[in-house]
Amino acid sequence: MNTAPRTPPRLRAEIDLDALRGNVRALRARASGAELMAVVKADAYGHGALPCARAARQAGASWLGTATPEEALALRAGGDRGRVLCWLWTPGGPWAEAVAEDIDVSASGRWALDEITAAALRTGRTARVHLKADTGLGRNGCQPADWADLVAAAREAEASGLVQVTGVWSHFACADEPGHPSIAAQLAAFGEALGAAERAGLRPEVRHMANSPATLTLPASHFDLVRPGVSVYGLSPSPEVGVPEDFGLRPAMTLVAALAQVKEVPGGHGVSYGHSYTTPGPTTLALVPAGYADGIPRHASNTGPVLVAGKPRTVAGRIAMDQFVVDLGGDRAAVGDEAVLFGPGDRGEPTAEDWARAAGTIGYEIITRIGPRVPRLYAGE
Ligand SMILES: *Cc1c(COP(=O)(O)O)cnc(C)c1O
C-alpha cells in the first residue's frame, strides 16, 4: 500500500520521464555514430538517480556516468547491470568494491593506477580502467608531460592481467562557447594523447570527450561515446549554445508549491527579512513555502520569477530558508493554489534558465541543488 499523504505536498518536483527518454533519443540522433553515456551524477542533477537511470537505459543509453564511486555503487544496489563509469576518486576509495561490481573506473595518475592494480589483485578480477588526459581543462586528468609514463604503466598492468584499459578520455573547458579557440586545441591534444596510448600498445574500447555542448554542437568530438548530462534533463548547457527546443530537448523537472497563505496588507508594508521590499500600495501577498533549504537561491531575492494565479510574478523581498513572498498586485489567489517556480515553460511558467539568470548562475545549479526535502514525483515510470 502507498502510505503517502493524499494532500499535495508543500513543494514537489515533478519529473517527466517521457521527456527524459525523448531527450536521450534526441541526443542519440545527434551523435548517431557513437554510444551514449547518460551522466547521472549528483542524484541525476537533482532528478533522482535510479528512476532517471532506468529511463535513460530504456531510451538507449548503453553507459551511465557518475562522479563518485558511491553514486556508481548505488546504481548497482538499485539493480542496474549495464556499463557504468565513475571518475572522481581519492586515495583509499572503494576501488575493490567498484571492481567487484563490474564498474569501470578512471585513473588520472600513477597513484590511482597503483590503487586499482592492488584492488584487482585483492578481488581476483580484472579492473576496467579509463585513462583520463588533461587536454587543457586544467582540472582532473593527466598532464601531457606525465601521460607517456601513465600509459606505459597501464600497458604493463594489462600484461599482468590485472587491468584492462577500456577507455581513454578527456573533458572540455569551453565547449559551451562554440568557436572558443580552446576547443580545437583540446581536440588536437586529445589526438596526441590517443596516439601515445596507441603507440604504447593500448587498444581502448571507447575514446570519449563530449559533454552536452560538444554532443550538441561538435560532431568532431563524438568519437566512440558521448557523455551528456544537463541535456538529458532537457536544459541547454548555455544560452550561447541555444534553447532546449533548438535541439528537441524538453526540461524534465517542474517545481510546484502550494500557497501557504494569501493575505491583504496595507501599502508601505515591509516584506520578509531586512524589508528589502515594501508594498507600493494596498495589495495581496502570497506565501510560497519554498526557500534556500530547498535549493531556491537566496541570490534571487527580489528577482526570482514564479507563476502564481496564471501570471508571471517576481519574488518580493528576501528568499528565506523555507519561504518567500510574492506580491499579487490587485490579483486574487487562494491558499493552496499552485505556484510554479519553473518547468518546461510552455504553460507560461518560468524555466530553470530564468532562475539562473535571476540568481547570476547557470541552469545546472538551479536543478541540481533542489534539496532532499523536496519529494520527487515521477510521471512516465
Ligand atoms: C558532469 C560531467 C559531464 C556532463 O556534463 P554536461 O555539461 O552536464 O553534459 C560529462 N563528463 C564529465 C567528466 C563530467 O564531470
Number of domains in the chain: 2
In a domain, 276, yes or no: yes
Domain boundary pick from 204, 233, 262? 233
Q: Report how far ligand 1's centroid is from the alpha carbon of 364 (Å).
A: 11
Domain boundary residue among 167, 198, 233? Answer: 233
Spatial CA neighbour of 74 closest among 45, 99, 43: 43
Please report the atom of ligand 1 found closest to the CA of residue 228. 9
Dist. CA 92 → ligand 1 center (Å): 24
pLDDT digit string, tens, across residues 172-195: 999 999 999 999 999 999 999 999
Which residues are tagged catalytic? 41, 273
Indicate whether 81 and 214 sit together in one domain: yes
The CB of 227 under 6 Å from ligand 1? The reply is yes
* End-of-domain residue from the set 202, 233, 264: 233
Residues 209 and 265 in one domain: no
In terms of domains, do 264 and 360 share one?
Answer: yes
Phi/psi for 70 (5° steps) reads -60, -40
For residue 1, what pLDDT band results from cuts at 50, 70 and 90? very low
Give yes or no: residues 187 and 290 share one domain. no
Q: What is the pTM of this model?
A: 0.97
Q: What is the pLDDT of residues 161-176, one digit of tens each?
A: 999 999 999 999 999 9
Q: Is residue 8 part of a domain?
A: no
Residues 197 and 301: their CA atoms lie apart, in Å, by: 51
Query: Are 262 and 125 members of one domain?
Result: no
pLDDT in tens, 302-347: 999 999 999 999 999 999 999 999 999 989 999 999 999 999 999 9
The reply to whether 154 and 28 lie within a common domain is yes
Domain membership of residue 162 as a residue range: 17-233
Percent of the chain with pLDDT strictly greater than 90? 97
What pLDDT is recorded for position 109? 98
Specify whether 211 is located in the same domain as 332. no
Q: Output the nine-digit C-alpha cell for 326.
A: 510574492
Residue 108 and residue 182 in one domain: yes
Residue with cell 544560452: 239
In terms of domains, do 168 and 288 share one? no
**Is residue 6 very low, low, confident or very high in pLDDT (cuts 50, 70, 90)?**
low
Q: Is residue 10 part of a domain?
A: no
Q: Is the pLDDT of residue 2 over 80?
A: no
pLDDT digits (tens, 9 = 90+) for 198-236: 999 999 999 999 999 999 999 999 999 999 999 999 999
Integer Cα distance of 80 and 12 in angstroms: 26
Span 259-279, pLDDT tens digits: 999 999 999 999 999 999 999
Q: Is it the case that residue 40 has pLDDT exceeding 60?
A: yes
Query: How many degrees, rounded to 5, is the angle at CA 353 between CA 181 and CA 55?
Result: 95
Convert 5-33 to b/e letters by CB count within 10 Å (16 or more is b): eeeebbbbbbbbbebbbbbbebbbebbee
219 and 268 assigned to the same domain:
no
Q: Ligand 1 centre and the CA of 44: distance in Å?
A: 11
Contacts of 212 (CB under 8 A, 6+ apart): 228, 229, 230, 231, 232, 237
Q: Pick the residue whose CA is nearest to atom 6 on ligand 1.
A: 229
**Cβ atoms of residues 19 and 208 within 8 Å:** no
pLDDT at residue 7, as a whole number: 60
Q: Domain for residue 240, yes or no? A: no
pLDDT of residue 9: 85
Please report whether residue 125 resides in a domain.
yes
Tell me, what's the pLDDT at 218?
Answer: 98
- Do 366 and 307 belong together in one domain? yes
CB of 39 shorter than 6 A to ligand 1: yes
Interatomic CA distance for residues 346 and 18, integer angstroms: 16
In a domain, 2, yes or no: no
Residue 334 near residue 325 (C-beta atoms within 8 A): no
Same domain? 359 vs 227: no
DSSP 143: -
CATH number at residue 320: 2.40.37.10
Average pLDDT, whole number, for the chain? 97
Main-chain dihedrals φ then ψ at residue 39, nearest 5 degrees: -85, 120
Residue 158 counted as domain residue = yes
CATH number, position 59: 3.20.20.10
245 domain-assigned: no
Distance CA 306, CA 303 (A): 10
HSE at residue 69, side-chain half, CA atoms within 13 A, is 20
Does 106 contact ligand 1 (Cβ within 6 A)?
A: no
DSSP3 helix / strand / coil % (the chain, rounded to 5) = 35, 25, 40
| Ligand 1 binding pocket includes 237 (Cβ within 6 Å) | yes
Candidate from 104, 171, 211 with most ligand 1 atoms within 8 A of CB, to mutate: 211
If you write DSSP's letter for every residue of 254-298 in order, what string do you get?
A: EEEEE--EEEEE-TT-EESGGG-EE-SSSEEEEEE---GGGT--G
